[in-house]
Chains A and B, each alone.
Chain A
Amino acid sequence: MNPVQFEVIWHRILQIADEMGIHYLRCSGSQTVVTGNDGATAVMLPDTSLVAIGPYIATQSNVLPLIVQSTQRMCAEDPGIHEGDIFICNDPYCGAIHHADVAVVAPVFIEGELAAWLGVSGHQLDIGGMEAGGFAIHAVDTHQEGLRIPPVKIVERGKLRGDIFRWVMNQVRDPLVGLDVKAQLAAITVGERGLRGLARRYGRGALAEVMRGSIDYVERRFRERLRALPDGQWKEVQFIDHDGHNPDIYRIELALTKNADRLTFDYTGTSPNARGLINSAYSGLLAGVLCGTYIQLAYDLPWNKGIHNCIEIVTESGTVNNCAYPAPCSMATISAVIVTIDTVFGAIGRMLLASGGLRGEAMAMWTGSSMGPIVAGTSQHGHPFVYTEMSHFAGGGGARTYKDGVDTGGIVFNTTPNVANVEEIENDFPLLYLFRRHLADSGGPGKFRGGMSAELAYVAWRAPEGRLEGSFAGTGGEMPNAIGLSGGLPGASIRLIGISDSGVHDALERGEMPPSRLEDIPGRREALPVKHPRRAFGRNEVWYHNWQGAAGYGDPIERAPEAVRRDVGAGAVSPGCARDIYGVVLGAGGELDGAATEARRMELRRARLGGRAPAAMSFQPPAGARRIGEALWLVEGEARCGRCGEALGRAAEPLRSSRAIDGPTQEAGPVRGEMYQELYGRRLFSLRRQVCPSCGTQHEARVIMEGAPLPASRLKG
């Protein structure tokens, strides 16, 4: 087709997806949608292929095609799909990721023929069911998790069906959900108007041609990118703790095979359906795989079906990230889905590291999990509310091969993360924050450090007496999920702590400054399970939580001492971690002690070698050597330590003869699961570091679980 017309029309189509999103967000009443940008839009072909997606939550856009497929499958005959119809759906077994994400999809007919599908999706404040806010902690099957709408015609030939709308509204606690649905319908109208205008101007044929052509273009570009990457297989093993009933551990296993211009994500081995809400249906698995792939490999391409066309997913129904009906899955996004993204990040990150030209694109894992802290009750303004604390959208960015990760830089599945000001929260809800700050040592140590996460605490304030309740759904308390690259260490895990008899409320009433650090809050501290159902939020109770930090890159004892000194000065790293993990010694005034640092680093190296003196580190990679890690080279098929030259293995198992050192997870820093390990009286997880047996350079660091398979990399050739 004419390249000029192609460019003009495609620009307009991308803008239409964007406009739909802007329009939806402007009208929405959902705090999570508007402040967290927790929504998505998509333009699709008649065959449901994704053409363009809007700017916000990448995961949600990816499942809109599944919802359209369900709509076509279930509604084509009865009640029929006609011009002017819009369908609503939030059933995870029909394509939604979890119940809270309500989507509307609509066919666009032009000159009587189906020309496209449009979709809009967003995270609702409430969806009915056992628990306000959408996370049904105690559910054992999906029927308890609230409204589950299969594709249902909510607008019929241009007219809102009041009966359907009222039926939806009857099931939810917050009337604002109705507004949100209307905002979604309005966004569909915006998209439809845009596409019709394009068809009028350029013809239906040209529109169809550009939509298809845009997918072909992306596919062509993506295949080229894949061909530039090494073939091989990368295995990742990730964990989810607590299923809402018991502190059981579930596994997500990935074997990613890359062959020429194809990627195969094989999740065989993943744990069977969990008893509780942490599962995700196939929709969440697809969303997670695509989201991770987009970010790491398609960062300079429009995100559409062209990428999906190069991907195969192998999975068994009835597993944690492809659960079988009627398994509950209301928490999918912040458990199985984000952990699935972690597996994708780990595998692709290692593939990039071995790629030569694209190694600079590799990132260690971002904040590896998510959470849904919810407070509900009656506000100081007199109306009922359900508030989801969204500060964890300021998660840490994963370390890069040349630079630290971004502190509180966002959450991986959101291209436009955002958190509310403390003032905005306190203005709307009866809460008073004691602090919200970066969490020291939360960024995974490494030559380049992972981005920090943060911590916060709040009390009830000016709340109608005895009317507040809270629940919590989080992942990654007993172990960190953000795993580093090339010997970088994992970031912090999450903690939820309740302090019921703090006296803080009383003190505030007496005009005293409230405590502003966790350790200064008086009273009895209770480690709360990362999933707990609704419970009263008492007058003098303080709730604290922190979220996961991001992972590091490279051996921490290779970090520039000056960078460690700066981190200690800024409170990002504690002096203890500086000494014991980075091997950096500071004087009383915080100044760098160069000699002591050198000695300390030698000491750490020796300790890694069981007391032996490390070999000289003077390896120069010969011409033709291929770099496959920060300090790892393939020389004529042999993997060698990039510091001392020691042979460590072959391409098929590069770290085969490395020395494995297993220790507690908190060897990566404090808040690495020890609180919950203590609570449950067990230590299921350890930190396995793989070091060069000759010079002690750290090449890998993983969180492993007893009895679980080990992650591995296998390069071809």
Chain B
Amino acid sequence: MLSIGVDIGGTFTDVAVVEEGGGRAAQGKALTTPEDFLEGVLEALEDAARQMGLPLREVLGRARLFAHGTTITSNVLWTRSGPPVGLLATRGFADQILIMRGIGRVAGLSLAERRHYRATGKPEPLVPRTRIRELAERIDATGAVLAPMDDAEAVAQVRGLIEREGIEALAVGLLWSFRNPVHERRVAALAGREFPGLRVSLSSEVSGRLGEYERTATAVLNAYVGGAMEGYLERLTRRMAREGLRRAPLIVQSNGGLAPAGEVVPIRTVESGPAAGVVGAARLAGELGLPNLIATDVGGTTFKVALIQEGRWELAPETVLAQYHVHVPMVDVVSIGAGGGSIAWEDEGRLRVGPRSAGAAPGPACYGTGGAEPTVTDADLLLGTLNPRNFLGGRIRLDAEAARAAFARRVAPRFFGGDPLEAAAGVREIIDAQMADLIRRETLERGRDPRDFALIAYGGAGPVHACAYAAEAGVSEIVVPYQATVLSAYGAAAGGVRHTLERSLSVRVPGGAEAAAGAFAGLEAEGNGHLERAEVPAGARRVERWVAMRWRRQVHSLAVSFPPGPVTEESLARAAADFAAEYATRYGEGSAYTEAGVEITRFWINALGPSLPAVPAAPPAPLAAARPRGTRPVRWGAEFIETAIHDGPSLPPGAAVEGPAVIEHPGTTVALPPGARAVVDAAGHTHIRLEALPPRPEKKA
């Protein structure tokens, strides 16, 4: 049986086909087709089938799992192509979605962007003020109904929105609805009766969390993208069935897990590509016996980092979409503007790299597609790391002269005595240091030491830079997975059904066992329902419990795993002890006001179906030194060294490569500096150990 994962990215649509039980699997790639994403999907599937030497119909027919990651929701949001949405709010609070907690103007912006006040603004509202109506109803913090809702008013307001404003979807965001959803549900029931066909999105359904702004924003965004998402999923399901798929496709969510099309909350699929990449990395972590892993993804414009600890990833503490703060359980992936397309430029006597990117258009100078500014990819080419004939699987022929000219023109004269090669080396060093800074911050901020982690490098440019940024961050073990260029598709194929359900509730420790038990029981019943509908057999269902804990009266909380089994004072105490330990790890001993005690502020669970079982890989055993295909001069540190060039796909298991060396794969290149040693394992992963950190080059001032 096969598991098939599909991921639609900005440039490429990727497919990973995984044979259950292990072994190398097929990978397919095609250009993404934004006019109709399905075309790109089918082409990528065909590409994978070709590699397997099978007709697509047969490949699909053998699929036990077909998991699909889509950018539909993101696309609707970025292009603002959703329908008119109306909003109902508690009387007196219609403007919360417009006030955006005062932070909407700068949400998601870098510090440099935030400092340019004049250039900042709130997004054009997804729901303008004229499409917001108020209801005379009030519930308080305890969930008590202070003023009951009036059905007639609710119906009249919705009617007004439909008739006067032409809304096609309705969001409802009432105060305290997560604690008592009675009014929101009543609105949904009334709307269903009076206005059948109207898409209704309740804040209490999309989020169980405290915070009317985020909950309402989530409901609004969900209403906005819902129609497009559903339409696409219907077409996908029909089309795949016609092509021979016997299973209903599962959809990749922002939490990294899968859900049947009918169970998907549309907004919860946003940014699912990077999430699936982390899932893929976590699964490889399990196979490779590397439970603590820094997942790093270098693309054209961004560098992304996620931490995997004990084989698990974390959810992001807050999520910002299109400048709206929302409650969407999302894998915690942080990014900075640093990638192959990052532009090197002169800034009044400073040499800068990024955050501006040449992107795919005009692209780096070496693409020969009109880019005139030198980029990181141009540097990689000039330094000999990249083979001009092997970029993106040979799809683009790189022009080294153009790269050289770009550096000679833009950066070399001012800083490097006109030497484009020195300039390229300098640019690489800066970008590698910036990437290392992000790794360092993400680990140190959590009180973790990067030296305790291995690093996995993926994305087209990840393996090119990984040894450099890993060394700079103090990491000495690196894995370049076989699936480096399709890791999100692979993560989709390796994923399982996963529903994240949350509820904000303040529970004191000790003394809160009963309330905590009630909270988990409610969530687990709900989770069970989801698994049931996803046709996960009862015996295969699992639940992960989590709580957000804080020292009472403090504001920030930490995620703490909660033990399975009966919820008792003992299990609460155990979680509180874990919390205290984690708190001390992150912030140091004595950094808490412990006298006030501990409190749980939020409960959540992951209701899980089975995922593709990880097959523990045999540790790589170096059998024989690999034979290079040839050599070329590559710059390492301060000098060019005639370097062995290996053909990645033809390296057999056990092949050992000593740095300096370059290993070329169809979609990426592994740069192995002097002193590093790589071994290829049976699954095709390249294991790298940096025995000694590369010496710092002495450069001309």
Contact = CB atoms under 8 A, between A and B. Distances in A.
Given A4-B429, A437-B92, A508-B147, A182 B590 contact: yes
B91 A29 contact: no
Interface stretch (A19-27, A274-282, A608-616): A19-27
Contacts of A303: 115
B137 interface: yes
B136 A406 contact: no
B430 A511 contact: no
Interface in A417-440: 417-424, 426-427, 432-438
Nearest to B425: A4
Interface stretch (A217-225, A313-321, A533-541): A217-225
A409 B137 CA distance: 28
Interface size class of A (residues with CB under 8 A): 35 or more
A393 B129 contact: no
A27 B141 CA distance: 26
Given A27-B587, A420-B101, 10 more contacts: A15-B441, A29-B555, A175-B593, A179-B591, A421-B210, A422-B93, A423-B175, A423-B212, A424-B210, A513-B136
Interface stretch (B1-9, B268-276, B346-354, B538-546): B346-354
B444 A19 contact: yes
Interface in A258-290: none
Interface string B88-108: 000111111011111111100
Contacts of B116: 299-300
B430 A415 contact: no
A409 B92 contact: no
Contacts of A517: 92
Contact of A409 (B122, B351, B352): B122
B445 interface: yes
Given A35-B555, A299-B118, A415-B111, A2 B699 contact: yes
B101 A418 contact: yes
Interface string B554-567: 11100000000000
A436 to B, nearest CB: 6
Interface in B427-442: 429-430, 433-434, 437, 441
A12 interface: yes
A595 interface: no
A327 interface: no
A423 B141 contact: yes
Interface string B395-434: 0000000000000000000010000000000100110011
A219 to B, nearest CB: 11
Given A11-B433, A27-B556, A299-B118, A6 B350 contact: yes
Interface in A371-414: 380, 383, 391, 393-395, 397, 400, 403, 406-412
Nearest to A55: B111
Contact of A393 (B91, B102, B112, B700): B102
Interface in B587-609: 587-588, 590-593, 595-596
B588 A186 contact: yes
B194 interface: no
Q: Among B93, B119, B120, B593, which residue has the most Cβ atoms of chain A within 10 A?
A: B593
A334 interface: no
B115 A421 contact: no
Contacts of B506: 427
Interface of A: 1-4, 6-8, 11-12, 15, 18-19, 22-23, 25-29, 31, 34-35, 55, 160, 175-176, 178-179, 182-183, 186, 189-190, 217, 220-221, 224, 294-295, 299-300, 303, 360-363, 380, 383, 391, 393-395, 397, 400, 403, 406-412, 415-424, 426-427, 432-438, 454, 461-462, 508, 511-514, 516-517, 569-572
Q: Most chain-B Cβ atoms within 10 A of its Cβ — which of A26, A224, A461?
A: A26
A676 B429 CA distance: 62
A117 to B, nearest CB: 21
A421 B212 contact: yes
B93 to A, nearest CB: 6
A217 B350 contact: yes
A295 B115 contact: yes
B121 interface: yes
Contact of B437 (A11, A217, A294): A11
B348 A217 contact: yes
A295 B212 contact: no
A173 to B, nearest CB: 13
A22 B98 CA distance: 27
A179 B554 contact: yes
A526 B652 CA distance: 85
B100 A179 contact: no
A410 B137 CA distance: 29
17 contacts: A7-B350, A7-B353, A8-B433, A26-B586, A29-B554, A217-B349, A300-B115, A394-B101, A394-B102, A415-B111, A416-B106, A433-B92, A437-B95, A462-B142, A508-B138, A569-B129, A569-B130
B233 to A, nearest CB: 33
Contact of B434 (A11, A28, A294): A11
Nearest to B145: A511
A110 B101 CA distance: 43
A513 B91 contact: yes
B588 A189 contact: yes
Contacts of B111: 18, 55, 415
A454 B92 contact: no
B93 A409 contact: no
A512 B147 contact: yes
Given A26-B556, A406-B122, A514-B147, A436 B95 contact: yes
A624 B185 CA distance: 67
Contacts of A6: 350-351
Contacts of B103: 410, 416-419
A407 B122 contact: yes
A205 to B, nearest CB: 13
A303 B112 CA distance: 10
Contacts of A25: 556
Contacts of B368: none
B441 A19 contact: yes
Interface in B139-155: 140-142, 145-148
Max count, chain B CB within 10 A of own CB: residue among A361, A409, A419: A409
A165 to B, nearest CB: 11
A450 to B, nearest CB: 14
Contacts of B444: 19, 190
A458 B551 CA distance: 28
Nearest to B148: A511
Contacts of B596: 175, 383
A516 B136 CA distance: 9
Contacts of B130: 569-570
B629 interface: no
A4 B430 contact: yes
Given A29-B554, A513-B91, A408 B100 contact: yes
B101 A421 contact: yes
Interface in B190-224: 210-214
Nearest to B177: A423
B323 to A, nearest CB: 11
B24 to A, nearest CB: 39
B95 A438 contact: yes
Contacts of A182: 590-591, 593
B692 interface: no
Contacts of A416: 103, 106, 114
Contacts of B146: 432, 508, 511, 514
Nearest to A183: B591
Contacts of B214: 421
B147 A436 contact: no
B522 interface: no
Contacts of B348: 217, 220-221, 224
B553 interface: yes
A497 to B, nearest CB: 16
A19 B443 CA distance: 12
A24 to B, nearest CB: 10
B95, B426, B430, B593 — most chain A CB neighbours (10 Å): B95
